[in-house]
Structure 1
Amino acid sequence: MKTTLSLAISALFAVALPALAAPSSADVLIRHATVVDVEHARLQPGQAVAIRGQDIVAVGDDASLARQWQATQVVDAGNRYLIPGLWDMHVHFGGGPALVEENKALLPLYVAHGITTVRDASGDLPEQVLSWRGQIAAGQLFGPQLFTSGAKIEGIAPVWKGTLEAGDEAGVDAALDREQRDQVDFVKITDSTLKPELFLYALRQARQRGLRTSGHIPMALTVEQAVDAGISSIEHLDYAFKAGVKDEAAIAADFAAGRIDRAEANRRLRGGFDRDTAMAAYRRFAEHGVAVTPTLDGGRIIDFLDVEPHADDAYLAYIGPGLRKTYAWRVDRAAKATPQQIQDRHAHYAQVAAVLPMLQQAGVQIMAGTDAGFLNSYNYPGIGLHNELALYVREGLSAPQALAAATRAGPAWFGKLDRYGAVQAGKAADLVLLERNPLQDIGATTAINTVILRGQVQDRAALDALLDATRAQVKAWNAADAAD
C-alpha cells in the first residue's frame, strides 16, 4: 500500500514539474503582438516573440509564452503589427572618395525606415562598401545587413567608375577571380563598353562558379539570351518590358550590326510590345528562377519632374551636399526636354509600369529595390523603399504581394528563407512593429513604432534620434560647403 502511494506521489510530481520549471531566459520578449504571416497573407493576433541574441527563439500564444519565458527587456506591442524586416534589393553607394562619410551617413536612414538589409548593386566605392559589410556583421558599425556585388564587371574604359575592366575572356576570368577573392555576395555586370559576347560569357562563367548575377543587358542582345546564359536577376523594369517586344531579336540584330542607333532601337521597342510575347517571356523567367527588381520609382521621378518637382523635398535634409550635387546631371537633362519628349516620358512610364502585374501573374519573383543613392536624383535611401511599394500597389499588385516583395523575395533570391522573411522561431531577429495593418494598406509600412535589428530594440525615440543625428550632420556639412 505504502509503495503504491509513493509511486502515485512520484507520478504526480512528474506531471507537475514541467509546469513548475523555471522560465527560459531571453533578452527581449515582445508581448501582445499581431504577427503578420507574409507568406500566407494572414494575421496571427495575441502573439508573443522571445528573442535571444540575434535569434527568434520562440513565437506563440502571448499568455503561454509569458509563463515560459522571462526577459531582460519586455516590449509591449499593444496589438500592433509585427512584420519581418524590410529589404531594399537595389541600392548604390558612390560619388568618389570625397563622399565616403556622406555615404556612411545613409546607413542609419535605412534602419530608421525599417530596412534591416540592403543589397548594394555597385557604385564607385566597392572597397569601402566591402569594408562596411564586414564591420556591420562584426557589430563595429551601425547599419542594415549589407550584401554587395563589390566592383561591377565592365568593358575597357567604361562610363562607370569603380569597375573591373574586361576586354576578352581572360579579362572576364580575372575579374571573376577578383570577385571571388573579395567574397562578393553576387556579381554585377553592366554594358557601358562590355562586348555583348563577353557579357554572356561572364554570365555563364559566373554560373559555373556558383555565383549569382545581375546586370544591365546590352541592347545588342535579347533578354532571353541573358536568361539562357544564367542571369539571376534583371534590374529595372525596362528590361522586362523589352523582353515583351515581339521583334526584340530583330531590333537587337539591327543594333549590333550598326543599322540603327540606340534612339531608333528604343523607338521600335516602345512600339512593339505584345502581351502574349511578354507572358511567354515572363513564364520563362519564372521557370529559370530569374527575379526582377523593378526600381520603378527612380524612373518615375525623372519622368515626371515637370509636374512633380523635388527641389524642396523635406527629405533633402538627410542627404549630404556632395550627394545632392550628383543629382544635377539627370535633373538638368530632364529640364532640357521638349514638350513632346516630356509627353513621351510620361507615356513610356505607363507602358513599363503595366508590366508589373503581368510578372506577378506569370509567377516571377518580384524583388523590391529602389536604385537609391548617388546620381539617381531624389531617389532617397530609406523612405524610397516605401515610395516604391506604394507604386507597386498603384500599378496593380495587392498590398500582400508588395509586402512579400520587400520581406521574402530578397531572402529567397539569396537562398536565405530559412533565416529571414518570417516571424518564426529560428529566424533572425530583424523585425518591424507597425501601427497599422500592411496587408490592408501598404502605406502602413511607413507607420513604424519600433525596429528590432539583430536583436537590438530601436523604439520610436531611438529611431527619431537616428534621424536627428543625420539631419544635424548634414546641416554641418551644408555649412562647411557654403563656406568653401
Structure 2
Amino acid sequence: MKLLAAVAAVALSLVAGQVGAQERADLLIRNATVVDVEQARLVPGQAVVTRGDRILAVGPDADLTKRWTADRTVDAGGRYLIPGLWDMHVHFGGGPELIDENKALLPLYVAHGITTVRDASGDLPYDVLAWRGEIARGALFGPTLLSSGPKIEGVKPVWKGTLETGSEADVDQAVARLKSLDVDFVKITDSTLKPELFLYAVKQARAAGLRTSGHIPMALTVRQAMDAGISSIEHLDYAYKAGAKDEAAVAADFAAGRIDRTEARRRLDEGFDAATAMAAYGDMAARGVFVTPTLNGGRIIAFLDQDSHENDPYLAYIGPKLRKTYDWRVQRAAQADAAAIALRHARFEREAAVLPMLQAAGVTIMAGTDAGFLNSFNYPGIGLHDELALFVDKGLTPAQALSSATRAGPAWFGKLDRYGAVEAGKAADLVLLDRNPLEDIGATRAIHAVVLRGALQDRAALDALLAQARAKVAAWNAEARK
C-alpha cells in the first residue's frame, strides 16, 4: 500500500508540473489592441503568440502569459495590431540593367508594413519568379511575392517581357507555359492582343485553374470580359466604362474602326449613368470579380501640372536608372495644353467618384499601387499608404480602406484561411501601429514594428532597412555622375 501511495504521489506531482509548465514560442506580443478588420472593431488587452511563420494563439494577455513564454517578448503598450498589408498591383522592370535597382525595392515594402505583393508583370518576369522562390526559401529578404510571370499579349506589343499570341494555338501554348512556371495568376493586357483572343485567353486560363487579371480592350465590354471569367479588373478606368449606357455601341464602333480611343472615351464619359453603373457593379459583385483601382498612379499623372514631384524626399530610395524610366510619362504630360490638362483633371475625378459606388454595390476593392518602373513618382512602399488615403478621400471609410489592403488580397487568392486576420492558425504577418487605423487611415504609416513570416522587425530594424536603401541609391547616384 505504501508503494502504491508513493507511486500515486509521484504521478500527481508530475501532472501538476505539466499543468504549471509554460509552452515555448518564438515571439510573444503582449498588451496589444488587436484590430479585427472583418468586423471593424478593436479588441484591447490581447497577447499574440507565434512560432515559425504561424500564429499559435491570440487571447487575453493575462491568460496567455500564464501559458506561454517566448524567445522574444514585445510589450505593445496598447498599440494597434493589424494583419500584414498587401499591395496587389506592383511592377518590376526596365530591362536587365535595372535588375539590381528593382531588387533593392523589396525591403522598402517590408519597411512600410507590406508583407505580401502581387507582381502584375513587367519585363523581368523570370527574374521576379526567381526572387519569389528565393524569398520563400529564406535566401532573399523581402515580402512574400506572388507573380503572374510574363503577361499574355498580342504580336509585337508595346510591353516587353510578354508571351506574344496571334492565334488560339498561341494562347494555348502561353497558358501551358504559365502553368509550367507555376505562376500565381495570369495577367492579360490589350496593347496588340485581338479582342477575341483576349476572351479566349481568359477562358483558357480559367479552364487551367488559374485566376485572371487584366486590362479590358476598348473593343470589348466589361460584361464580355466577365462572361469569359475574368477574376479582377486592374485600374479604375476599365471598371468605370461599365457605367456607360452605350458601352456596347462604343465597343462595336471602336472595334470597327469608326472611332478612335479619344472619341470612345468621350462617348463613355458622356454616356455614364449612375443607375447603369450600379446595375453593372452589382453584377460584378455577384460574379465575384474584384477591382484594383490604382488611384494614386492616376492622380499623380493627372496633376503633374500642379506637382512635378522633382523634390520628393522618397526619390532618395529610387535608383537613377529607375528614375529615368519616369521620363516618358512626364514628357507626355508636359505636352498637354490647358484644355487637355483640365480634361485629365476632370477625368480623374469622374473615375474616382465610382469608387464608393463599387463599394456600395458589394464589389471587393483591392488596394494596389501600380508602383514600379515607368509609373512616375508612384513609389514602392509608401505608395500603398497614399492609395489608402485616396480611398478614404474619395468616399470609403477607414475600415473599408484597411480591409482592401489586408483582406481583399487574400480573398482574391483564396487564402483567407491563412491571411487577413490576427487569429490562431493564421500567418505571422503583422504590423504594430502607434495609432488606431479605424479612426484615421493615416495611422497605417505610424509603424512601430513589422512581423514578417514570424520574424520581428522592430523600429530600429525598419529604420536600418531604409538607411541601407538610401545608401545603395546614393552610391548608384555617385556612380552615375562619374
- TM-score normalised according to structure 2 size: 0.97
Query: Residue type matched to 1:270 in 2?
Result: D
Residue of structure 2 in register with 1:108 after alignment: 107
Moved more, 173-182 or 260-269: 260-269
Distance 1:50 1:253, change over 3 A: same
In structure 2, runs of 5+ residues without a counterpart are none
- What residue number does 2:92 align with? 93
Name the CA distance, whole Å, in 1 between partners of 2:352 and 2:234.
Answer: 14
Cα distance in 1 for residues equivalent to 2:268 and 2:318: 36
Matched ranges for 1:75-474 at <5 A: 75-474=74-473
Q: Residues 341-368 of structure 1: CA distance to partner in whole angstroms, max 9, x if unpaired?
A: 1111111111000100000001101000
The offset of 1:21, in angstroms, is: 2.8
The change in CA–CA distance for 1:18 and 1:272 in structure 2 (over 3 A counts) is farther
Query: Shift of the alpha carbon at 1:16?
Result: 7.8
**SS, match of residue 161 in structure 1:** coil
1:308 deviates by 2.0
Tell me by how many angstroms 1:309 deviates.
2.1
* Higher mean C-alpha deviation, range 19-28 or range 267-276: 19-28
1:20 is displaced (CA, Å) by 3.9
The aligned amino acid for 2:287 is H
Specify the SS of the correspondent of 1:380: coil
Give the distance between the partners of 1:103 and 1:397, measured in 2 at CA.
32
After TM superposition, the structure 1 stretch with the greater mean CA deviation from structure 2, 17-26 or 103-112, is 17-26
CA displacement at 1:271 relative to structure 2: 1.2
User: How many angstroms apart in 2 are the aligned matches of 1:100 and 1:211?
Assistant: 27
Q: Which residue of 1 aligns with 2:22?
A: 23
Kindly tell me: are residues 269 and 15 of structure 1, through their superposed partners in 2, closer, same or farther at Cα, counting changes over 3 Å? farther
The 1-side partners of 2:321 and 2:314 are apart by: 15
* Separation in structure 2 between the aligned mates of residue 243 and residue 16 of structure 1, nearest angstrom: 66
| Cα distance between partner residues in 2 of 1:359 and 1:13 | 62
Q: How far apart in 1 are the matches of 2:477 and 2:31? A: 44
Amino acid at match of 1:77: A
State the distance in 1 between where 2:12 and 2:420 align: 41
Q: Which amino acid is the alignment partner of residue 155 of structure 1?
A: G
Once the two structures are TM-superposed, the CA of residue 19 in structure 1 deviates from its matched residue by 7.9
Q: Secondary structure at the match of 2:372?
A: coil
Q: Partners in 2 of 1:446 and 1:18 — Cα distance?
A: 45
Letter in 1 for 2:55: I
Runs of 4 or more consecutive aligned structure 1 residues displaced over 2 Å after TM superposition:
12-21
**Amino acid aligned to 1:436:** R
Letter in 2 for 1:168: S
Q: Secondary structure at the match of 1:443?
A: helix
* In 1, Cα distance between equivalents of 2:33 and 2:12: 36
What is the identity percentage for the equivalent residue pairs of Structure 1 and Structure 2? 71
Q: Match of 2:271, SS?
A: coil
Q: Residues of 2 paired with 1:51 and 1:128: CA distance?
A: 32
Q: In the TM superposition, what whole-angstrom CA distance separates every residue of 1:141-161 from its partner, at most 9, and x where no partner exists?
A: 000000000000001110100
* Alignment partner of 1:33 is 2:38: no
SS of 1:271 mapped into structure 2:
helix
Between the aligned partners of 1:349 and 1:455, the Cα distance in structure 2 is 40
Deviation at 1:269, TM superposition (A): 1.1
Q: Which runs of 5+ in 1 are unaligned?
A: none
User: What displacement does 1:272 show?
Assistant: 1.1
Q: Which residue of 2 aligns with 1:56?
A: 55
Give, in whole Å, the separation in 2 of the partners of 1:431 and 1:255: 47
Q: Distance in 2 between matches of 1:482 and 1:409?
A: 43
Deviations 1:20-79, CA, capped at 9 Å, x for gaps = 431111000000100000000000100000110111001101011111001010011111
Whole-Å Cα distance in 2 between the matches of residues 435 and 249 of structure 1? 49
CA distance in 1, matches of 2:13, 2:248: 74
Shift of 1:15: 12
